[in-house]
Amino acid sequence: MNERTLVAQNLFQVLSAYLATNEIEQLLEKPKSKDHGDVAFPTFILAKTLRKAPQVIAKEIAEQLSSDDFEKIEVAGPYLNFFLNKTKVSHEVLTQIIEEKDTYGSATTGAGENIVIDMSSPNIAKPFSMGHLRSTVIGNALSNIAQKLGYQTVKINHLGDWGTQFGMLITAYKKWGNKAAIDANPINELLALYVKINKLAKEDPSLKDEARAWFKKLEDGDTEALELWNWFKTESLKEFSRIYQLLSVDFNSYNGEAFYNDKMSEVVDLLAEKSLLTESQGATIVDLEQYDLLPALIKKSDGATLYITRDLAAALYRHRTYDFKKSLYVVGNEQAGHFKQLKAVLKEMDYDWADQITHVPFGLITKDGKKLSTREGNVVLLEEVLNEADQRALKLISQKNPDLPNPELTAHQVGTGAVIFHDLKNDRLNNFDFNLDEVVQFEGETGPYVQYTRARSISILNKANFKPDKAINYHLEDAESWEVIKLLQSFPEVVQRSFDKLEPSVIAKHAIQLAQIFNKYYAHVRILDENSEKESRLALVYAVQIVLKADLALLGVSSPDQM
């Protein structure tokens, strides 16, 4: 039980006539100074009901509270300041973590219900760039967090495997392509063709006409167009699979845009049956004025369908197939308008599950302040970044621990983990400029710092040959250990908060804070000295390494035992 819940339940014994437990918990505050306790309860809200001054109310409540959960309860004006019983709480926290180990922080709130996560979704025949990293690792972390709370997750890689860009690519290949070169280095060669035709098309509009014609052939099932499209797709998936393996990310479905080609006519028919379609300048739209949104363009004047039509078909298919409790779309912030339209159209279609659809937006990664763009050729290849991060990690590890067994594996866990952690420690909606020099460091708020802290804690345990024993009454009272205990105790609540906000950075920040507080503890307390507290201190170290590992695992980052 976290400290806020503990205080709320005690207060409820006195205030049950006025406030529910959850209402009390929402009112609780964290004191600005440790001298004012662990949790504070302001009494202002009761003044009107009780017709008394808040200071008087605080004093009267304190007189009625009696519990061994607290060392003391102080009245400070209108506030009740609660000092938790360090001996009791530390014992409960350490015992729980030792008993539950890797399952600590788990819950059954999901009750096995499905959450569908649309994530990553790179475009076929284009390189997997740094621009795809955010959707991939945010989606993967949200899946891990949801599973920790008892949900089943369905990770869908909605591949960009259809659209007019394939007309551009086929045209470029027919004009300048070389099969042998593409077989040898598919993605880079296809990227070069794509950049070339986009550049030339700015001066020669006829290239766009040719591209449209080739895409029409593809839509009509032309043999040559389909063969080229399938070839591009097969080669791309080989490349993508290798990168997903580096990131330790997998998927339940690779159904991309093309999968819904034969499912869009049903959407158009359903919209027509519900009298939601209107004509506008030759195009077919759904009017969304009542939602303060632009019209949803269902069909262009030439009869071609658009992204919204395809996403409506996908939403219907996913609900029928997975009966989801939530459907998350981990897609950049610039697509916010599109997902508002998607949700509004589904509401207009009277689907009550439209409210379960959530866009999970995120900010941009920039490089030297510039937006990454495949079309303009401003691309930073993710695989190159991961390889460089691993090499930097290997160099640092070799300097710190030249005798480390299997250094390449550890370097990959540290280097690639550093890139993932750096992304996820940033608030999801923030933009950030990527600089590898800041990412692969053993100091500062980095993934390697957290990993190194855990490896250090395991080293301490090994030196002491510590084996946790549930029969021992582990407990600590000192101020240094108390700061660590409170962070360990908060972990289950942190997992829940991260899920509620759909914000992995809550987990990353907890990991950083726990590593920092533990290192401070390590610097001030002689853990291995023979005294009455030695076993409890080692139990604390044991608990720290379990929770740091859990934090990192939720983010999709490995935890090497040695570094």
End residue of a domain, out of 367, 382, 399: 367
Does this model's pTM top 0.85? yes
Domain shared by 76 and 126, yes or no: no
CATH number for the domain spanning 18: value is 3.30.1360.70
Joined together, the tokens standing for residue 24 give: 């009390």
Tokens of 35: 């001298």
Is 16 inside any structural domain?
Answer: yes
Q: In what order do the strands lie in the sheet with 326-330?
A: 152-156, 114-118, 326-330, 357-360
Q: Using alpha carbons, list the distances in angstroms from residue 215 to 166, 224, 256.
A: 6, 11, 17
Q: Which residues pair with 297 in a beta bridge?
A: 285
Considering 349, 367, 385, which residue would you say is the last residue of a domain? 367
Spatial CA neighbour of 392 closest among 355, 349, 446, 345:
446
* Ramachandran sector of residue 561 (left: φ over 0; alpha: ψ -120 to 50; beta: rest): alpha
pLDDT at 276: 97
Let me know if residue 104 belongs to a domain: no
End position of a domain, from candidates 65, 84, 103: 84
Q: Is residue 171 located within the same domain as residue 37?
A: no
Q: Which pairing describes strands 39-42 and 79-84: parallel, antiparallel, or unpaired? A: antiparallel
What is the model's pLDDT at position 403?
A: 92
In a domain, 438, yes or no: no
Q: Is the predicted pLDDT of residue 167 greater than 90, yes or no? A: yes
Residue 497 lies in a domain: no
Q: Is 522 a member of any domain?
A: no
Q: Which domain holds residue 345?
A: 114-262+306-367
What pLDDT score was predicted for residue 57?
97
pLDDT at 377: 54
DSSP assignment of 237-294, as one string?
HHHHHHHHHHHT---SB---GGGGTTTHHHHHHHHHHTT-EEEETTEEEE--GGGT-P
Closest CA to 196 of 381, 370, 376: 376
Computed over every residue of the chain, the mean pLDDT equals 94
Same domain, 80 and 229: no
**pLDDT tens digit string along 282-315?**
999 999 999 999 999 998 887 777 889 999 999 9
CA 533 to chain centre: 38
DSSP 484-552: HHHHHHHHHHHHHHHHHHT-THHHHHHHHHHHHHHHHHHHHS-TTSSSTTHHHHHHHHHHHHHHHHHHH
Q: Indicate if 172 and 234 belong to the same structural domain.
A: yes
How confident is the model at residue 374, as a pLDDT? 52
Q: What is the CATH number of the domain that holds 232?
A: 3.40.50.620
Give domain status of residue 439, yes or no: no
CA dihedral 533, 535, 539, 545 (to 10 degrees): 100
Asked if the structure places residue 109 within a domain, the reply is no
253 belongs to a structural domain: yes
Q: What is the pLDDT of residues 35-83, one digit of tens each?
A: 999 999 999 999 999 999 999 999 999 999 988 999 999 999 999 999 9
- Tell me the mean pLDDT in the region 434-446: 90
**Do 21 and 128 lie in a common domain?**
no
